[in-house]
A and B are shown apart, each in its own frame.
Chain A
Amino acid sequence: MLTNEQNQQLERLLDSVQKAVRYLGGEMNQRYKPEASFGFAFCFPDTYEVGMSHLGMKILYRILNDLDDVRCERVFMPAVDMADGLRREGIPLFSLETRSPLKDFPLIGFTLQYEMSFTCVLEMLSLGGVAALSKARKESDPIVLAGGPSAANPEPLTPFIDAFLLGDGEESVVEVTQLVKALREKGETRENILFALSQIEGVYVPRFYEAVYNEDGTIRSFGPIREGVPPVVRRRIYLDFENAPYPEKMIVPYTQIVHDRVALEVMRGCTRGCRFCQAGYIYRPVRERSPKRVMELAESLISSSGYEELSITSLSTGDYTGLAELVAGLNKRFQNRRVALSLPSLRVDGSLKETLEETGQVRKGGLTFAAEAGTQRLRDVINKGVTEDDLITAVSDAFSSGYAGIKIYFMTSLPTETYEDLDGIAALAALVRQTYFNLPKASRPGGLRINISTSTFVPKPFTPFQWCGQDAPQVIEEKQRYLREKLRMKGLAFRWNDWQQSRMEAAISRGDRRMGAVIYEAWKLGCRLDSWTEHFNYERWQEAFQKVGVDIAFYANRERSYDEILPWDFIDMGVTKDFLRKENEKAKAGVTTPDCRQGCRGCGLQRLEGVCT
């Protein structure tokens, strides 16, 4: 724990920083176990409001704190004023529960949700008194773990992380914690502990592997350099989703957070197979919770939190079997308790009307529809099985159910995109607008607000587009300028993402081990909180690439050939490289692959016994 003197300095610092409530802890349903001997610091590499909105952290927080003698405590990235204050005053970054410095935890685990949070991993370690570089850590220093979707390609972070947990963490985080605890108690060496970890399925210990490169910069070979270390690491898949432990008493922050509501995960995985979507491949197979279990969980979550809103979450909630009945049941149960239901990630090709009418009963929020691309041709390329008719029916249902605020989301710079596809976005926007005005005045809500928002496509590992190059910056800029002109319409607002962040994401997400040096340099130059536009500094990142001598375009814009060894090839995600290659070929030919619920498409999961039926 912090010393008395540090605590006093901290109180003074807290008086001077913005939103000090981020650093106080003590919320409803916090787990406080100072008596437990073994500490696990669960780190989220972004600020409190962002991290507290993340479901995975809440699940693992509960599982770890349910273990005897283990205390799992939360650590978040402080905002810039607090980070600088901590450094100035010499106060180490601490956990919220017991105010223990990060360096005092034998285990530290980061959850990686997006690449632009990577510099925060380094910053948090450094603020917490832990060496950022794995090789600089001493025998008794904490062991640093990482998991989450952005660990799907762990290579860029290998210099900083001692062990990665790939796939669902529900079981592996327990196995890892218990093993480290037992071996630490026996006084085992760090090296031996890490070797023991490498024997757990789904755990990747980068120091036991080596990459050799060709002259052109591509990978010549990759593999283990120590006997007994698995050449292929298979992702963990947790199958008993129905009975999986769930944070039934979730922490209720005092302050408003990004997703300030109960999140209830009704389904994990998605079988639609949109070719740009990493989550659609790395979370297979689809696992659903029964409506009965969902109702039970909803009851305990609402009554233990007091939240006013319940969000039914998954990658594609519209695909949940019996969604309409579930929503009706939840509404019936919670209506008189003034709980609003929200359904993010609805697809537009299902029957929406009933569901919309149910969810709108307490309060009407906005609705977001993901169209992804402007023309049927391009939607076929990316395998987004949505048609213009689907979208128009959906928005028409939404308008007549009383929703006047509609957001339609597109990606630009998708593989094979042309200006015709951009024209398609504008045409679709105009059609949506017209749909509103075609409704009789009496049966549509007033105050039409259509938001068209676009982001730049980032090719991701373990997707059929993992070989693609991203559009060059000039091309992206030109396309955005073109769309801005095309989308000048009344009642319609257009928002787009700056390409700089997308470019960095494209470079880092498909980076190899050499990317670690770039991230380290960027952090040294002062990069942190890069997912915040106000803190992101593209010039600094460019400088980091230059200093280390790494070419951004090699990673972001280069098209890879099928026979190239990709940095993440040693990971068995379930989905095979062969399947992804076939999907990429089908994309080029504009051929779609239907949802595998209607028949197996041979993605690779079928190889694993009992996983996909």
Chain B
Amino acid sequence: MKCWAVYQVPESLRLLGHLDLMRSMQRVLRRSGLPIKYSQGFNPHVQMSLAAPKPVGMAGENELMEFTLTEPLPREAVKEAIQKALPEVMALKGLILRDDKAAALPALVRMASYRVDFYGKPPFSARQLSDFLSQTEIPAVKTTKKGKRSYDMRPLIMQAELKGQSLHCTLSLWEGGACRCDDFLEQLCRFAGVSEAPQVIYTRVRLLDKKAKPLDSYADC
């Protein structure tokens, strides 16, 4: 039986890296006492995957992990076991039961919605934001392992708006094209003529599929 656990990475743990989170969630599953499926081989480990790597510095409100149980169990029992095994500061927000043959979780992720909270007032106006978005092309450069690569950021931005002290946006996140939230903010600040990088807290609010449907709202199947 395949399960998706929806959990929160609180702001206080935003500096956790992907590998630390992976290891920690594997231990959550081991602590849960549930009949978790292990990989075969010389060094057996818990078989699980996170929906998308969490960038260092980012909190997450509806993060997901996928794991498989070797025998079916009632949803409430699984939920309770996971919640108890999570550190107190992390909350389990939901559990989705998936068919064993359903697509793997990471393959469904296409985009993510983010919230950027500023300490104080946002350094740009709503007008500047809409001007920024009305550009047909936003040339940007990303640094990868292979070196610097220029790309057009505009098609990777699905949506963005200012709400009070926060910037909300939805950005592409899959192998076909991904835009980092901090890169987006940097381009926007540059466009608005902001000289000093603002101090912010990044939160990934939800992970979405190709129809922009939140993965945490999937029904059981």
A residues adjacent to B (C-beta < 8 A) = 8, 11-12, 14-15, 20-21, 24-30, 32, 252, 254-256, 303-308, 337-338, 363
B74 at the interface (CB under 8 A from A): no
**Bound Cα distance A526, B30 (Å):** 44
- Minimum Cβ distance to chain A for residue B196 (Å): 12
Chain B residues near A363: list those with CB within 8 A. 42-43
Q: Could you tell me if A256 and B33 are in contact, using CB atoms closer than 8 angstroms? A: no
Q: Could you tell me if B13 and A12 are in contact, using CB atoms closer than 8 angstroms? A: no
Q: Could you tell me if A21 and B29 are in contact, using CB atoms closer than 8 angstroms? A: no
Q: Which of B8-44 contact A (CB under 8 A)?
A: 10, 12-13, 15-17, 20-21, 23-24, 26-31, 33, 38, 42-44
Q: Could you tell me if A27 and B15 are in contact, using CB atoms closer than 8 angstroms? A: no
Q: Could you tell me if A24 and B199 are in contact, using CB atoms closer than 8 angstroms? A: no
Q: Could you tell me if A30 and B88 are in contact, using CB atoms closer than 8 angstroms? A: yes
Q: Could you tell me if A12 and B199 are in contact, using CB atoms closer than 8 angstroms? A: yes
Determine the residue in chain A with the shortest Cβ distance to B12: A26
Q: Could you tell me if B27 and A305 are in contact, using CB atoms closer than 8 angstroms? A: yes
Chain B residues near A29: list those with CB within 8 A. 87
**Bound Cα distance A29, B24 (Å):** 13
Known contacts A26-B13, A26-B87; A305 and B44 CB within 8 A of each other? no
Chain A residues near B12: list those with CB within 8 A. 24-26
**Bound Cα distance A25, B12 (Å):** 9
Q: Could you tell me if A32 and B88 are in contact, using CB atoms closer than 8 angstroms? A: yes
Q: Could you tell me if A28 and B31 are in contact, using CB atoms closer than 8 angstroms? A: yes
Chain A residues near B57: list those with CB within 8 A. 15
Q: Which of B107-161 contact A (CB under 8 A)?
A: 119
B85 at the interface (CB under 8 A from A): yes
Q: Could you tell me if B20 and A338 are in contact, using CB atoms closer than 8 angstroms? A: no
B201 at the interface (CB under 8 A from A): yes
**Bound Cα distance A256, B15 (Å):** 15
Chain B residues near A256: list those with CB within 8 A. 20, 23
B221 at the interface (CB under 8 A from A): no
**Bound Cα distance A273, B42 (Å):** 40
Q: 8 new A-B pairs (CB below 8 Å) besides A20-B15, A306-B26?
A: A8-B119, A14-B15, A21-B15, A26-B88, A27-B87, A254-B16, A303-B33, A305-B31
Cβ contact of A338, chosen from B13, B38, B86, cutoff 8 A: B38
Known contacts A11-B201, A338-B38; A26 and B20 CB within 8 A of each other? no
* 18 A-B contact pairs sorted by A residue (CB < 8 Å): A8-B119, A20-B15, A21-B15, A21-B20, A26-B12, A26-B87, A26-B88, A252-B24, A254-B20, A254-B21, A254-B23, A256-B23, A304-B31, A306-B26, A306-B30, A337-B30, A338-B44, A363-B42
B77 at the interface (CB under 8 A from A): no
**Bound Cα distance A113, B28 (Å):** 31
- Minimum Cβ distance to chain A for residue B41 (Å): 11
**Bound Cα distance A255, B199 (Å):** 25
Listed from nearest, the 4 A-B pairs whose CB atoms lie closest are A306-B27, A306-B30, A306-B31, A20-B15
**Bound Cα distance A305, B85 (Å):** 9
Chain A residues near B119: list those with CB within 8 A. 8
Q: Could you tell me if B88 and A252 are in contact, using CB atoms closer than 8 angstroms? A: no
- Minimum Cβ distance to chain B for residue A52 (Å): 13
**Bound Cα distance A306, B23 (Å):** 10
Q: Could you tell me if B16 and A21 are in contact, using CB atoms closer than 8 angstroms? A: yes
Chain B residues near A303: list those with CB within 8 A. 31, 33
Determine the residue in chain B with the shortest Cβ distance to A9: B199
B103 at the interface (CB under 8 A from A): no
Determine the residue in chain A with the shortest Cβ distance to B46: A338
**Bound Cα distance A438, B13 (Å):** 54
Chain A residues near B45: list those with CB within 8 A. 308, 338
B219 at the interface (CB under 8 A from A): no
Chain B residues near A21: list those with CB within 8 A. 15-17, 20
Chain B residues near A24: list those with CB within 8 A. 12-13, 15-16
Q: Could you tell me if A254 and B199 are in contact, using CB atoms closer than 8 angstroms? A: no
Q: Could you tell me if A30 and B87 are in contact, using CB atoms closer than 8 angstroms? A: yes
Determine the residue in chain A with the shortest Cβ distance to B33: A303
Determine the residue in chain B with the shortest Cβ distance to A27: B87
Cβ contact of A306, chosen from B43, B85, B89, cutoff 8 A: B85
Q: How many of chain B's residues have a CB under 8 angstroms from any CB in A? A: 31
B residues adjacent to A (C-beta < 8 A) = 10, 12-13, 15-17, 20-21, 23-24, 26-31, 33, 38, 42-45, 57, 85-89, 119, 199, 201
**Bound Cα distance A12, B201 (Å):** 10
- Minimum Cβ distance to chain B for residue A360 (Å): 12
- Minimum Cβ distance to chain A for residue B84 (Å): 10
- Minimum Cβ distance to chain A for residue B90 (Å): 8
Chain B residues near A254: list those with CB within 8 A. 13, 16, 20-21, 23-24
Determine the residue in chain B with the shortest Cβ distance to A363: B43
- Minimum Cβ distance to chain B for residue A196 (Å): 37
Q: Could you tell me if B89 and A26 are in contact, using CB atoms closer than 8 angstroms? A: yes
Determine the residue in chain A with the shortest Cβ distance to B15: A20
Known contacts A11-B201, A26-B87, A28-B87; A252 and B27 CB within 8 A of each other? yes
- Minimum Cβ distance to chain B for residue A13 (Å): 11
**Bound Cα distance A36, B3 (Å):** 39
Q: Could you tell me if B20 and A306 are in contact, using CB atoms closer than 8 angstroms? A: no
- Minimum Cβ distance to chain B for residue A331 (Å): 15
Known contacts A20-B15, A26-B13, A363-B43; A306 and B28 CB within 8 A of each other? yes
Question: Taking each of B15, B24, B33, B199, which has the highest tally of chain A beta carbons within 10 Å of its own beta carbon?
Answer: B15
Determine the residue in chain A with the shortest Cβ distance to B21: A254
**Bound Cα distance A26, B8 (Å):** 13
**Bound Cα distance A147, B89 (Å):** 32
Determine the residue in chain B with the shortest Cβ distance to A20: B15
- Minimum Cβ distance to chain B for residue A34 (Å): 13
**Bound Cα distance A27, B12 (Å):** 11
Determine the residue in chain B with the shortest Cβ distance to A251: B87
Determine the residue in chain A with the shortest Cβ distance to B32: A306
Chain B residues near A305: list those with CB within 8 A. 27, 31
**Bound Cα distance A462, B44 (Å):** 46
Chain A residues near B38: list those with CB within 8 A. 338
Chain A residues near B201: list those with CB within 8 A. 11
- Minimum Cβ distance to chain B for residue A94 (Å): 13
**Bound Cα distance A307, B28 (Å):** 10
Chain A residues near B23: list those with CB within 8 A. 254, 256
Determine the residue in chain A with the shortest Cβ distance to B88: A32
Chain B residues near A25: list those with CB within 8 A. 12
- Minimum Cβ distance to chain B for residue A403 (Å): 15
**Bound Cα distance A14, B13 (Å):** 11
**Bound Cα distance A11, B13 (Å):** 11
**Bound Cα distance A206, B121 (Å):** 55
- Minimum Cβ distance to chain A for residue B60 (Å): 14
- Minimum Cβ distance to chain B for residue A439 (Å): 22
**Bound Cα distance A307, B88 (Å):** 18
Chain B residues near A28: list those with CB within 8 A. 24, 27-28, 31, 85-87
- Minimum Cβ distance to chain B for residue A598 (Å): 42
**Bound Cα distance A11, B43 (Å):** 38
- Minimum Cβ distance to chain B for residue A87 (Å): 20
**Bound Cα distance A21, B24 (Å):** 12
Question: Taking each of A12, A252, A304, A363, which has the highest tally of chain B beta carbons within 10 Å of its own beta carbon?
Answer: A252
Question: Taking each of A14, A21, A25, which has the highest tally of chain B beta carbons within 10 Å of its own beta carbon?
Answer: A21
Chain A residues near B28: list those with CB within 8 A. 28, 306
Determine the residue in chain A with the shortest Cβ distance to B39: A338
- Minimum Cβ distance to chain A for residue B118 (Å): 12
**Bound Cα distance A25, B16 (Å):** 11
Chain B residues near A252: list those with CB within 8 A. 24, 27, 87
Question: Taking each of B13, B29, B33, B119, which has the highest tally of chain A beta carbons within 10 Å of its own beta carbon?
Answer: B13
